[in-house]
Copies of this chain bind each other. A is one copy, B any other.
């Protein structure tokens, strides 16, 4: 009861970061949005800190692709864990294909007849999707080896390399991650068009591509084991959130030390009362030792398509020049990982 709230004032022309600072003295989710910027800023100022981003939901069809690639390029995140859909849709746009402004109030039977696929109020051309599927199967898969046990990270890395040579759109998430040295995990890659196109290469073209998903657990947990400290940013919940959370548990088992995440931010509409991991609070996560008992943490209940662009702009304004310890990941042949930190200005 020491700090009075300050009603936010309308000041046309004010910057977005100035607005989020003003929101810190208000209440409810507005304040949480302000705190989201603060917590992320603290992550960026922490030494030898690795920032995980968990990305669920259909963020790329909803136009969030360049926000993610911005965060990657400016190394406001260090590791990405994504659903397959976001990577698939990124690849689709990287190939020059588009999503379309649609409506959520529409007759889906009619859409079906025109092979228009709907994602809430975004439309897509099913024929174009089919061509992207074939592109994966016929253009990309020849660059993968048979019988090698790939982690999803390695497959996405190969995809980034191929997109680079292919001349893809430069703000692609996959390509940006490739260029910036950001590992991308997709623990349920099989649960997407990207995954089933790889399967079709095996089934229809006699390939023997292996996606060894246990390798994903191994590699991802090593990051949290080896890191100085770790921070987590979750856009939505789903597999990416749990997958990142569990690295703290695994790394704890392995090292016999507390490896809980030290900063934590989630932007999601998933609420705790249904008991799912997507919506569980960071306090609940503390009971499991996934989040540090003294962590700076904030949950902001908002659609990410509103909150994420605001937070990214605010960070961009706060850190015109970002100077931080950027982790460089070096994966050994036997699955070992070394992380070096380079002081970079981004």
Q: Which residues of A contact B (CB under 8 A)?
A: 1-16, 19, 22-23, 25-31, 33, 56-58, 60-67, 70, 85, 93, 98-102, 104-105, 108-109, 111-112, 114, 116-123, 125-126, 130, 133, 149, 171, 187-193, 195-196, 198-200, 202-203, 209-214, 216-218, 221, 236, 238-239, 242-243, 246, 249-250, 253, 269, 271-278, 280, 283-284, 286-289, 293, 301-303, 305-307, 309-310, 312-313, 316-317, 320, 335
Residues of B within 8 A of A8 (CB): 63-64, 66-67, 309
The one of B62, B211, B286 that contacts A275, using a Cβ cutoff of 8 Å: B62
Q: Is A283 touching B99 in the complex (CB atoms < 8 A)?
A: no
Residues of B within 8 A of A242 (CB): 85, 191-192
Q: Is B118 touching A288 in the complex (CB atoms < 8 A)?
A: yes
A-B interface, 6 closest residue pairs, ranked by CB to CB distance from nearest: A26-B63, A30-B305, A12-B316, A29-B303, A27-B62, A4-B98
Extra 11 A-B pairs, beta carbons < 8 Å, given A7-B66, A28-B120, A122-B275: A1-B100, A4-B99, A5-B63, A6-B63, A8-B63, A11-B316, A12-B313, A56-B276, A85-B277, A190-B214, A199-B214
Residues of B within 8 A of A118 (CB): 284, 287-288
Q: Is A14 touching B16 in the complex (CB atoms < 8 A)?
A: yes
The one of B122, B125, B188, B190 that contacts A5, using a Cβ cutoff of 8 Å: B122
Q: Is B99 touching A61 in the complex (CB atoms < 8 A)?
A: no
Q: Is B26 touching A62 in the complex (CB atoms < 8 A)?
A: yes
One complex includes copies of this chain to the number of: 4
Chain B residue nearest to A236 (CB atoms) is B276
CA distance A109 to B288 in the complex (A): 10
Closest CB in chain B relative to A54 CB, distance in Å: 11
Q: Identify which of A57, A189, A269 gathers the most chain B CB atoms within 10 Å of its CB.
A: A269
Q: Is B305 touching A26 in the complex (CB atoms < 8 A)?
A: yes
CA distance A171 to B27 in the complex (A): 18
CA distance A5 to B65 in the complex (A): 11
CA distance A274 to B11 in the complex (A): 24
Q: Identify which of A104, A214, A221, A312 gathers the most chain B CB atoms within 10 Å of its CB.
A: A214
Residues of B within 8 A of A7 (CB): 60, 63-67, 93, 171
CA distance A288 to B56 in the complex (A): 20
Q: Is B65 touching A27 in the complex (CB atoms < 8 A)?
A: no
Residues of B within 8 A of A119 (CB): 27, 275, 280, 284
CA distance A320 to B11 in the complex (A): 11
Q: Is B26 touching A239 in the complex (CB atoms < 8 A)?
A: no
Known: A101-B5, A196-B217, A210-B212. A305 touches B190 (CB 8 A): no
Chain B residue nearest to A245 (CB atoms) is B191
The one of B9, B25, B58, B122 that contacts A101, using a Cβ cutoff of 8 Å: B25
Q: Is A10 touching B309 in the complex (CB atoms < 8 A)?
A: yes
Known: A12-B316, A117-B287, A283-B108. A190 touches B216 (CB 8 A): yes
Residues of B within 8 A of A111 (CB): 286-287
Residues of B within 8 A of A28 (CB): 58, 62, 120-122, 273-275, 303, 305
Residues of B within 8 A of A70 (CB): 9-10
